[in-house]
């Protein structure tokens, strides 16, 4: 029950569905295909670097904007991968995960009543951060079964109150990767309407079928109006380290930094040299991991198809979506609440990511960033649903 002292500003902030489902997974000894975290570690040299950092006394507050070698590694990585140049001293901020970069950017640029256009379904922290800022969410739907962006709807979402576009590609939970043409049109609209863009690219390296990640900041007119956000969590299988970053102009980065310093002040000291090393030396590891994930994606798609479901096979992220109607459920929340006791598997209902709940009602998200034997066990357990 909500406390009578709860602030109206955070009225919809409750325990996330991920916490609820992960707790249910532990309580029922279920295979957790719900929350998006891998069940294997990142590169060994990165783990060793963090342990060495702790042992050598790197345990006190690091610089607020992040240690210089990490800021340089982030800028170098961006240049090497995408040809985008950022000054490590003035245009890079290290944050406590992408989540803090998103929150700090939204709080820095959104005033009460400002509209923020975001792709709906939204990653859950977007809704909460926009609400904290007093902003108004304006969703542009990626609706099943194909979850394609409707550019006419996108264009029609702008109003004189639009201040920020919040774009996420590869997109959680749908796995959609926006195409060159879609990004080009988003960029055109951003420039024409003179809005700021916050671009969440945490899945930039989890991309399949030969697709290429295209940072929105690289499109014409976008470099100086885009806050480019990513993190080490997904790329290096270290979601618990919470090292993220934001890249943009010195003017924009100093506004985001001003907010960040009062959210967490600084971010995990011993993880920073380790992530710097991973960014500098981890390209081969990332590619192996990516290829492995693509194979896992196909393994899960096959298992879900065998159950009579039609998975939306993603081109990015580590999430796959199915409509669970063929299993006798019209409502994904009901399905996900029943699933652990019916067969010992946990998944996440799509509708929690939507304002327009009905659009997400029959869909469920499955994470495939798990060891093969875990995926196989999950699929074997799900086969009980066939009755
Ligand atoms: C789209 C998206 N953005 C941001 C995050 C959070 O990233 P971090 O763990 O680095 O805060 C996630 C995590 O699931 C995500 O899916």
Q: What is the pLDDT of residues 258-267, one digit of tens each?
A: 999 999 999 9
200 touches ligand 1 (CB under 6 Å): yes
Q: Which two tokens stand for residue 318?
A: 């580590």
With CA atoms as reference, report the closest residue to 325 among 338, 310, 340. Answer: 310
DSSP H or E segment with residue 200? strand 196-200
Separation of CA 128 and ligand 1 centre (Å): 13
Mean pLDDT of 56-70: 98
- For a mutational test of ligand 1's pocket, the pick from 126, 234, 350, i.e. the residue with the most ligand atoms closer than 8 A to its C-beta, is 234
- For a mutational test of ligand 1's pocket, the pick from 34, 74, 172, i.e. the residue with the most ligand atoms closer than 8 A to its C-beta, is 172
Peptide bond between residue 52 and the one before it cis (omega within 30 degrees of 0): no
Query: Does 56 have pLDDT greater than 90?
Result: yes
Mean pLDDT of 90-105: 98
Separation of CA 367 and ligand 1 centre (Å): 14
Rounded alpha-carbon distances, angstroms, from residue 72 to 231, 249, 258, 270, 272 = 15, 15, 21, 16, 11
Q: How far apart are CA 12 and CA 15, in angstroms?
A: 10
Mean pLDDT of 308-329: 96
Query: What pLDDT score does 35 carry?
Result: 85
What are the DSSP calls for 167-179, one per residue?
EESSPTTT-----
Report residue 19's pLDDT band, with 50, 70 and 90 as the boundaries.
confident
Separation of CA 326 and ligand 1 centre (Å): 30
Q: What is the pLDDT of residues 360-373, one digit of tens each?
A: 999 999 999 999 99
Query: What pLDDT score does 12 carry?
Result: 75
pTM beyond 0.85: yes
Q: What is the pLDDT of residues 174-219, one digit of tens each?
A: 999 999 999 999 999 999 999 999 999 999 999 999 999 999 999 9
Query: Does 387 have pLDDT greater than 80?
Result: no
Report residue 25's pLDDT band, with 50, 70 and 90 as the boundaries.
confident
Strand pairing category for 136-141 and 115-120: parallel
Separation of CA 386 and ligand 1 centre (Å): 33
Separation of CA 171 and ligand 1 centre (Å): 10
Query: Does 256 have pLDDT greater than 90?
Result: yes
Separation of CA 38 and ligand 1 centre (Å): 13
Separation of CA 72 and ligand 1 centre (Å): 22
Q: Which atom of ligand 1 is nearest to the CA of 244?
A: 10
Q: How far apart are CA 282 and CA 275, in angstroms?
A: 9
Q: How far apart are CA 244 and CA 230, in angstroms?
A: 6
Query: Does 15 have pLDDT greater than 70?
Result: yes
In percent, the amount of the chain with pLDDT more than 90 equals: 91
Query: Does 89 have pLDDT greater than 90?
Result: yes
Q: Which atom of ligand 1 is nearest to the CA of 243?
A: 10
Separation of CA 37 and ligand 1 centre (Å): 10
What are the DSSP calls for 351-383, one per residue?
GGG-SSHHHHTTEEEEE--S-HHHHHHHHHHHG
With beta carbons less than 8 A apart as the criterion, state whether 206 and 113 touch: no
233 touches ligand 1 (CB under 6 Å): yes
What residues have CB less than 8 Å from 123, skipping those under 6 apart? Answer: 168, 172, 173, 200, 353
**C-alpha dihedral, 347 to 348 to 349 to 355, nearest 10°:** -170
Query: Does 21 have pLDDT greater than 90?
Result: no
Query: Does 24 have pLDDT greater than 90?
Result: no
With beta carbons less than 8 A apart as the criterion, state whether 167 and 278 touch: no
Report residue 143's pLDDT band, with 50, 70 and 90 as the boundaries.
very high
Report residue 90's pLDDT band, with 50, 70 and 90 as the boundaries.
very high
Residue pointed to by tokens 């081109």: 315
How much is the mean pLDDT over the chain?
Answer: 96
Q: Which atom of ligand 1 is nearest to the CA of 173?
A: 16
Residue pointed to by tokens 């920073």: 272
Q: How far apart are CA 202 and CA 221, in angstroms?
A: 22
Q: Which atom of ligand 1 is nearest to the CA of 231?
A: 10
Mean pLDDT of 246-255: 98
Report residue 22's pLDDT band, with 50, 70 and 90 as the boundaries.
confident
Query: Does 11 have pLDDT greater than 80?
Result: no
- For a mutational test of ligand 1's pocket, the pick from 201, 205, 231, i.e. the residue with the most ligand atoms closer than 8 A to its C-beta, is 231
Mean pLDDT of 266-287: 98
Query: What pLDDT score does 17 carry?
Result: 79
Query: Does 240 have pLDDT greater than 90?
Result: yes
Query: What pLDDT score does 244 carry?
Result: 98
Q: Which of helix, strand or coil describes residue 25?
A: helix
317 touches ligand 1 (CB under 6 Å): no
- For a mutational test of ligand 1's pocket, the pick from 130, 202, 278, i.e. the residue with the most ligand atoms closer than 8 A to its C-beta, is 202
**Exposure of 131 in the CB half-sphere (CA atoms within 13 A):** 14
Query: What pLDDT score does 305 carry?
Result: 96
């Amino acid at each position: 029950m909500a406390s009578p002292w709860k602030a109206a500003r955070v009225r919809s902030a409750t325990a996330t569905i991920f916490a609820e489902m992960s707790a249910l997974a532990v309580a029922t000894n279920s295979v957790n295909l719900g929350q998006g975290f891998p069940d294997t570690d990142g590169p060994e040299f990165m783990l060793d670097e963090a342990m060495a950092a702790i042992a050598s006394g790197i345990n006190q507050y690091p610089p607020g904007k992040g240690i210089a070698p990490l800021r340089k590694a982030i800028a170098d990585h961006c240049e090497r991968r995408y040809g985008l140049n950022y000054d490590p001293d003035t245009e890079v901020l290290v944050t406590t995960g992408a989540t803090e970069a998103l929150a700090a950017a939204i709080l820095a640029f959104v005033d009460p009543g400002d509209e923020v256009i975001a792709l709906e379904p939204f990653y859950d922290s977007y809704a909460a951060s926009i609400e904290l800022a007093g902003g108004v969410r304006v969703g542009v739907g990626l609706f099943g079964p194909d979850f394609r962006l409707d550019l006419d709807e996108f264009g029609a979402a702008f109003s004189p109150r639009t201040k920020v576009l919040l774009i996420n590609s590869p997109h959680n939970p749908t796995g959609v990767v926006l195409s060159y043409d879609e990004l080009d049109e988003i960029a055109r609209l951003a420039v024409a309407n003179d809005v700021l863009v916050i671009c969440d690219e945490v899945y930039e390296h989890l991309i399949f079928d030969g697709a290429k990640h295209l940072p929105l900041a690289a499109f014409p007119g976008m470099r100086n109006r885009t806050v480019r956000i990513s993190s080490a969590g997904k790329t290096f299988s270290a979601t618990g380290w919470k090292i993220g970053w934001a890249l943009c102009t010195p003017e924009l980065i100093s506004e985001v930094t001003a907010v960040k310093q009062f959210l967490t002040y600084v971010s995990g000291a011993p993880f920073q040299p380790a992530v710097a090393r991973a960014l500098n030396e981890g390209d081969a590891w990332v590619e192996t991991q990516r290829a492995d994930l693509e194979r896992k994606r196909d393994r899960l798609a096959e298992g879900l198809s065998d159950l009579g479901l039609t998975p939306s096979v993603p081109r990015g992220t580590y999430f796959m979506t199915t409509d669970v109607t063929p299993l006798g459920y019209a409502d994904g929340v009901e399905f996900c609440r029943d699933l652990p006791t019916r067969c010992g598997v946990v998944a996440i209902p799509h509708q929690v990511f939507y304002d327009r709940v009905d659009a997400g009602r029959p869909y469920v998200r499955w994470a495939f960033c798990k060891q093969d034997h875990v995926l196989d066990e999950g699929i074997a357990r799900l086969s009980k649903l066939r009755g």
